[in-house]
Structure 1
Amino acid sequence: MATRLVQIAMDARDDSVVGGFWAEALGWGVSSEGPGVTNVEPVGFAYPDPAALYIDVVAVPEPKTVKNRLHVDLATTSAAHQADLVARLRALGATSADVGQGDVPWTVLADPEGNEFCVLEPRPIYQDTGPIAAVVVDCVDPRAMARFWGGAMDWTLHEVTDDHATLRSAKDVGPYLEFVRTPDVKTVKNRVHLDLRPYPGDDQAAEVAMLRALGAVDVDLGQGDVPWTVLADPEGNEFCVLAPR
């Protein structure tokens, strides 16, 4: 039994604005499964595809109040590409963001609703990931997070230290999932979270039970009667287990 990471979910006051920004930023298309939801999808892919993490932007009434604990890193192939991408993103509505990064070779920006993200300098490890290099999660204990998420999914653990842990799809394609040690602890519901999906033919309830055995806990966000299960990892980060597909 195993689940797989299939998409990133983002809360937004205006899903169409945030979804439109990310579609333009990534060169992807948009669709909608209903009012208040904008799906950002790579063109020509059949969902779910391990080569890409789709983005679902969901309308919520609450505004953003603190730095996100999950953010996206964008890949570039050269210094010129990085500069051009930063300029294009600013033209789309991105703004500079100071998260205490200091003098670093990457650029920290925020989307139109303040969701932080990074435009990385060229790094060989990310040359085959597609536009999203990695999804980065702030955490207190990368080793503990690697144990949980390594057991939760069929992704491969590439590196783990006291300060950093990295996983990637078992097919060795698409973005990385990275856990980075920070001194801050989670204080509010995450506005960006991960969605997992069991494989076709697998049992959703059995997968949820496996995740609970690994240390996940149930979370009530007022979701009511829905076909997915909302859980939280050992550091309280909410995530959803969708129906098999």
Structure 2
Amino acid sequence: MRAQYRAEGLDESDLADSPHEQFARWFTQAGQSGLHEPNAMVVSTADAAGRPSSRTVLLKQYDARGFVFFTNYASRKGRDLAENAHISLLFPWHPIARQVIIGGTAERIGRDETAAYFRGRPHGSQLGAWASAQSTVVASRAELDRAYEELVVRYPEGEQVPAPPHWGGFRVVPDSMEFWQGRDNRLHDRLRYVREETAGTGAGAGADEAVDLTVAAAWRIERLCP
């Protein structure tokens, strides 16, 4: 199985000043193309022993501070990130022959930010966050459904559901962002922004002190061989 890409190329002069602006530009174009769930991304983590794992997760927020997704902190990815904060995000926009690959570190967001997002979720999704002990073995589908139905009785539609203490957001603070544009003959364009440290920059800031990388960091652009 082989596809020949003949998309328009990507030149250094086409890029925005910051990778966050460039991501916003491509993300908007992906949505306008009719692509289903352009915010679906492959999240790759590794545990303390270096064993990798990947899964598809929905991006829920992004700005100059980073990229936010939500999960059960006791899930496999949550446990991985507690041991090893390094993370990779991949947006595989195949129909438009584009990818965005983000490397960086993940940090938990503040509880106030998590609670605000949780309140905006559909009622069923709120209950699901309580019902599922994500990534653990469950005896049967019936057991999972039973746990959910018990929560439906406890928190009927219209009643406020508290955010689980074991559930919340991660913000990925990037140190590199690659924009991949498919070209013919496998001579793809790969342009990567790499963060250069300046005073006050770094993922060591607390969850409530996430840095604005458009201010605190400089970025260099490099072209990679396909």
Q: TM-score, normalised by structure 1?
A: 0.21
* Relative contact order higher in (CA < 8 Å, ≥ 6 apart): 2
The structure with more helix, counted as a fraction of residues: 2
Q: TM-score, normalised by structure 2?
A: 0.22
Bigger radius of gyration, 1 or 2? 2
